[in-house]
Each structure stands twice: as C-alpha cells, then as structure tokens.
Amino acid sequence: MATANAAAVNLPDDPNVRGDVVLDEPVAGREPLVRGQHDFHSVTEMVCRVNEVPLKKTPMPFVFGTLLASAVFAMFGGYIGYLIWVGPGIWGNNNPVGWAWDIVNFVFWVGIGHAGTLISAILYLFRQKWRTSINRYAEAMTIFAVLAASSCVALHTGRVWMDYYLFPLPNQMGLWPNFRSPLEWDVFAVNTYLIVSLLFWYTGMVPDFATLRDRATVKWRQLFYGVLALGWRGSMRHWVTYEKAYQILAAFSAPLVLSVHTIVSFDFAVSQLPGWHTTIFPPYFVAGAIFSGFAMVQTLMLPARHWLGLKDLVTVKHIENMNKVILLTGSLVGYAYAMEFFVAAYSGNQYESFTFINRATGPYWWSYWIMLSCNVVTPQLFWFRKIRTSVGWSFVLSIFVNIGMWFERFVITVTSLHRDALVSSWDYFVPVTEALYLLGTFGLFFTLFLLFIRFFPVIAMSEVKGVMPQANPHWSGYDKKGHHAPAHAAVEEVHP
C-alpha cells in the first residue's frame, strides 16, 4: 500500500517538470501521459506493488481505515434491521414531505456514479487517452456508488420484503408493473446501469488480473487471480475481439450516462409539483451528476495517488483535466439554477414563482445558500491555473462540491414538498435518524472501495501501456529493424 520506495520514482507535482520521455504526440509539446522514465515493466511494478504487499504486512493506516469503514457498514446493517423492524417511521418524513433523505441519498449516489461511466465510456469514444490512468478507479466508484444508491432506494419502499414487485415477475394475481411510471423506469435504469457498469469494469480488468496472476508467488493469489483472469494470455486474436467488445460496451454505456440520470430526473419532472415539473430537469440533472461524480473521483484519487505512489501515472495533467470538467459542469449547473428562476418568473405561474422564492428565502434558505455557494461559487475558482493544478485546492474544492451536490438534492426534494397547495398542509421536515442512513451508505461505499484498492489493480495497466509512446511499433525510438535506439537519438519520425 503506502510504500516507502514510491517516492523514488515519482516526480514532483510541478506541472513544468517533465519526464525524460521523447514526446511522440501529435501536438508538439503536449505533456506525456506517463511522467518519468518509465518502460512497460516499471508501470507493471508501480501498479502491482499496491496489490502485492503480503497480507500480514498491510500498512496499519489501511487496516484501521478498512476497519472503521466496515464498522460503519456494520452499523448500516443494524440500521437496516431497525428500519425493517420499525418501519420508515424512524425517519422524520411527514405529510407533505413524504420523500426526504431516502431519495436525497439515492439521487446523490446515483449522480456520483456517472463520472465513472463518463470517464470510461464517453472519453474512450472520444479517444481521450488521459482517461486510461483514472478509469479503473472511476468505474469502481461507479459500481459502489450505484450499490449505495440501490440500498437507499430499495429501503425507502416501506415494506422492503415486497420489493420484488418492482420487477415484472409472473404472480398468481396476474399483476404486472406499470411500465408507464417513471418509478418503474427507474428500476430498469438503475439495474441496467449497475449490470452494464459491472460488465465493463470486469472486462477491463481481465488483462490486469492476468498480470497479477503471472506475478503471483503465493498459492491463494495464483488461484484468486487465476480464476478472475479466465486464462487470459494476451493473444492478439483475443485482443481483436476484446477491443471490439470493449468498444461496443463503451458505445452502449455512453448513452447510459445521459439516460440514467435523465430517468432519475423524470421521477421528479413527470409529477406536477411546482419546483419539480420542469423540462430543464434532465440536462440539469445530468450535468449535476457528472459534476458531483468528478468531484468524488478527485476526493478519492488525490489521496490514493499520494499514498499508493502513483503520481507518475495520475499526473497533474489528469487533475487539471478533471478540474476543467468540474468547471464546465459546475457552470452548467449554475446556469440551470438561474434558468429555473427565470422560467419560474416568466411562466407567470404564482405557485411556481412562490416555490423558487421560498427556496431562497423560506425556512430552508440555509440549504439553498449552502448549495449555491458550494456548487456555483467554488468551481469558478478553477478558472485560475494555479488552483486548477494544485493538489490541495483540488481536494478541498472537491469536498465542497460533494457537500453542495448533496444539498442540491435536498433542496429539490424537500423544499418543493414542504409547501403544499393548501396552507393547512404546510409542514417543516426535521430528520430524526437519517444521518445514520447517510453515514451507513458511506460505510458501504468506503468498505468496498478500500477492499478494491487492496486486491484489484487500481490502474488499467494494459491500457496505460497502450498509450505510452513506446507502444507504437513505429515509435521514433525504434529503428526500422525494431531495435531500441537511445531515446535521445531519435530525430525523425517514422510513420506507418
């Protein structure tokens, strides 16, 4: 894990310090994706080292972190038992606020997942090679976030043991689910998303599992990775099919990025409640999802790259690129907030206008202003290159974005509900035990994530090797017979 010799190969984070690799990129002066003097073997070493620490030598901070996370996870198990035993009355939900933290947490976690799919699918289709060193993390994050989301949405139904009615299973009453309902769309969207993300993640990991299998020195590792690697031997004939399959999975996952959160937004937008019933919701939710997801990737990745000694693979360039995405999607979200107000005013509908003025000045004004300051103001700091390329700033701002995006969902869900059409129905929602609910989902998420870091390859080694300049058989560092010439002797470029 946190290995001592990590520092030896890692360059400082100064974006102006470059590795000594010959730049063989189409754009002159473009920064290399892998910094430092790395060859294929040193990349393997750098990544596998994380997993190959013997079990008994697992660093103490990691052990404590995992124990803490799994203790919270265990608490979540207890909380779920309590919830099933007593019922959703353990929450502060009331009439009219029938949806509160259960749905807030669900939308929050599903949203986070979207960055992983964007990185793995959309950036892949757009040939953004920098994705290769961050996609594995991000995909893992997606899966664990969707699991956390599913745990929220599956538990909010009240009678949890009847959840199978969500699926179209034949039953003796001849009942079928209502396929015209957004809530049923959600069941299919989230489950498809979870399954497709898992397939994509696993497919990407098979060549790396094979690396770990081939390097294994202990019986259990050989067996564990051997089974997971499916007997992968890097055959070029397999690679051809594999790349096609990967491409197709990416092509199908890319619209999922847009469709899943669109369908989540339909849960709100298809209703006729002021504050929910707006056509801006699908794009606004998708932008928010990518925004929060990238922030979560930063939150997880910045400490990990430091402790795992992966600074040469996850470089400042990667951090900067992600901050640019945060800046873009943050601005889109800010625009959507402004547009919501404009549409409310322009509609001339007094209920609509009231809802929005009430959001900013009503009893939940604090949540609205937390949301606005975290989501609209903080990402704008990324206009400054100094802040964009600073690890410390990126980490702190990513936390702010995470907080802001949780509050966005709170604002949308709770403030729209607490003022009903009849003044006599107005009420104020106060959470009771919900904080444990949110904390529990974090326990679930971090337990899985820490185990992932410990046992699975955290960087897609085969993909990173594929984007290194040496991977091109016509790289200028090789002479025409294929022998490795000294890197600096390379003058002219040989094209295929």
Q: How far is the CB of 333 from other proteins (least distance, A)?
A: 23
Q: Pick the binder of other proteins from 59, 61, 77, 255 (CB under 8 A).
A: 255
**Closest approach of other proteins to the CB of residue 47, in Å:** 11
Query: Could you check whether the bond before residue 96 is cis, i.e. omega within 30 degrees of 0?
Result: yes
Rule CB under 8 A: which of 136-175 touch other proteins?
A: 168, 174-175
**What tokens does 239 get?**
């690679």
| Inter-residue contact 1 to 454 (CB < 8 Å) | yes
Binding other proteins by CB under 8 A: which of 126, 244, 347, 361? 244
394 touches other proteins (CB under 8 A): no
Give the SS3 label for residue 484. Answer: strand
**Ranges within 442-471 binding other proteins (CB under 8 A):** 461-463, 465-466, 470-471
Q: Does position 253 bind other proteins by CB under 8 A?
A: yes
- CB-nearer residue toward other proteins: 234 or 363: 234
**What is the closest distance, in whole angstroms, from the C-beta atom of residue 476 to other proteins in the complex?**
11
Token digits for 424? 């006599």
Does 392 bind other proteins (CB under 8 A)? Our answer is no
Structure tokens that stand for 435 in this block:
């904080």
312-348 core/surface letters (b: 16 or more CB in 10 A; e: else) = bbbbbbbbbbbbebbbbbbbbbbebbeebeebbeeee
What distance in Å separates the CA atoms of residue 293 and residue 367, rounded to the nearest whole number? 20
CA distance 97 to 273: 12
Smallest distance from other proteins to CB 329, Å? 23
Asked if residue 476 lies in contact with residue 22, where contact means CB atoms within 8 angstroms, the answer is yes
Q: Which residues 36-55 are close enough to bind other proteins by CB under 8 A? A: 39-41, 44
Minimum CB–partner distance for residue 137 and other proteins (Å): 19
- Examine residue 266 and tell whether it contacts other proteins (CB under 8 A): yes
66 counts as binding other proteins under rule CB under 8 A: no
Contact, 72 vs 442, CB < 8 A?
yes
Q: How far is the CB of 48 from other proteins (least distance, A)?
A: 9
CA distances from 202 to 139, 167, 197, 206, 207 (A): 10, 25, 8, 6, 10
Q: Using CB under 8 A, pick the residue from 177, 283, 362, 431 that binds other proteins.
A: 177
Please report whether residue 223 would count as binding other proteins according to CB under 8 A. no
Four-point Cα dihedral 353, 359, 362, 365, nearest 10: -150
- The nearer residue to other proteins, 416 or 462, going by C-beta atoms, is 462
Q: Which is nearer to other proteins, 69 or 110 (CB)?
A: 110
Cβ-based nearer residue to other proteins, 266 or 368: 266
We find the least distance from the C-beta atom of residue 189 to other proteins, in angstroms, to be 5
Q: How many whole angstroms separate alpha carbon 257 and alpha carbon 3?
A: 36
Residues in contact with other proteins, counted by CB under 8 A, come to a total of 73
Q: Which of 169, 240, 377, 432 binds other proteins (CB under 8 A)?
A: 240
The answer for residues whose C-beta is within 8 angstroms of residue 154's C-beta and 6 or more apart is 160, 163
